[in-house]
Structure 1
Amino acid sequence: GVPEAWTNTTYWIEFDPAVKGRVWGAMSYTHDLPRPKMWRSTPVAKFRGGVCVSDDGGRNWRPSNSGMPETAPTHILLDPTSPVNARVLYVAAVGKGVYKSIDGGKNWELKNNGIA
C-alpha cells in the first residue's frame, strides 16, 4: 500500500487510457505545495513522498520509485504516444526537478539538463 509517510496528500493522478484500471499517483506527506508557507516551515530536504501505481483503479496501491529519492511530487504526466508496455512518465518534484521513467514508472531518472 501507500507508505504511511505519504498519506497526507495525493497531488495528481494519471490514468492510462489504454489499460483499464492502471493509474499512477503523485503522493506526499507535505501538503499545500507550492504555497510559500510550506517552503518556510519545512526544508525541501525533509519533504516525503513519491509515486504509487494501481492496477485496479485505485483500490490498491504500491510504491513505484526506484531511482527517485523521497520527494514531494506535485504532478505526474503520461506520454500517451508511448508504448503500452513501456509507458513514458514525467514527475515534477518540488525543489528537485523533473524525473522521467521509460518503463511505466518502475525506474526514474532525474532530467534537469533536458527532458529528452
Structure 2
Amino acid sequence: MVRRDFDRVFRSGRRGATHLVTAWAAPGPCAGVRVGFAVGRRVGKAVTRNRVRRRLREALRLELEGVRPGTDVVLSARPGCRDAEFSELREALRTALKRAGAWVGSA
C-alpha cells in the first residue's frame, strides 16, 4: 500500500480499536486483503517498533482467513503493544478487525 491508499482507508474506512491495536478497514481495489502498518514513536525506538510490527504481521497472518476478501486494512499499534503477550495481541487484533467491519470469520 502507498500513502494515498493509507489516506483513503483513514478517510473512508471504518475504525475499530482496542487497548493494543486500532484497525481501519475499507473496500479495496483488488480481490485480496492488503494490509499496512503504522507504528509510531510513542511505541518505542526503532528496534521496538520493528519488533511490534513483526509481531502484528505474524498475528494477522494467523488470523488472515477470517478477514473479509477485497479489504484494505491499516493497523496502528498502541504503546501497550510492546509489552503484551502474543495471545493477547492476537485477540486484540481480532476484536479490532471485528469492530472495523473487516471480520467474517466464525471465531
Task: Please state which band the TM-score falls in when normalised by the shorter chain.
Answer: 0.3 to 0.5
More strand by share: 1
Q: Which has the higher contact order (CA 8 A, sep 6+)?
A: 2
More helix by share: 2
What TM-score do the two structures reach when normalised by structure 2? 0.36
- Which of these two proteins has the greater Rg computed from alpha carbons? 1
